[in-house]
Each structure stands twice: as C-alpha cells, then as structure tokens.
Amino acid sequence: MLGLDLLYKEAIDNQANVINKCVVGKWASSMDDANLSAFTESLNDDDFSTRSLFSLYKNAGATFGLTSLREHRRGVCTCR
C-alpha cells in the first residue's frame, strides 16, 4: 500500500484549491506569484479589452474560451 491516506489528504487539498472555480480561475490558481499578480493586474486594467487580454493569455498558454474570460472578468463566473 502506497500511503493512500496521505495521497487522499493531498487530493483533498488540491480539490479545495480548484473547487468552485471556473476554467479561468483554475488557470490562475496554477500560476506562481509573479504571473498571478500580472494576471490580476491586467484583468483589472480597463485600457485592455477582454479580447486583447484573451490574445495575451493565449500566448501565455491559456486554453479557455473568450466567453469564459469575459464572464470571469465581469465576476459572473463560478469563482468564489
């Protein structure tokens, strides 16, 4: 047996990090601090349209759609 109790606890912690988050929130939760602060700052930057942020994030490896980003930015997604 490979320490199922520990693996289970770890899985619960990981689950808690992504539960109630939309795909955009999940993507953000995988970032390191530097990327996360750039992400948060850009998201709140009114000089950027959601579409141009979408292109930016795509270049950074995002796989979600424009609609998901728009909802996340407006705060009408499932993120808490």
- The residue ranges that bind Zn ion (CB under 5 A) are 22, 24-25, 72, 77, 79
Distance CA(40)–CA(45), nearest Å, equals: 9
* 3/61 with CB nearer Zn ion: 61
Other C-beta atoms closer than 10 Å to the C-beta of 77 total: 19
The tokens describing 5, both together, are: 């109790």
Cβ at position 39, least distance to Zn ion in Å: 12
- Please report how close the Cβ of residue 59 comes to Zn ion at its closest, in angstroms: 20
CB of 73 to Zn ion, least distance (A): 9
Residue 72 tokens read as 């996340």
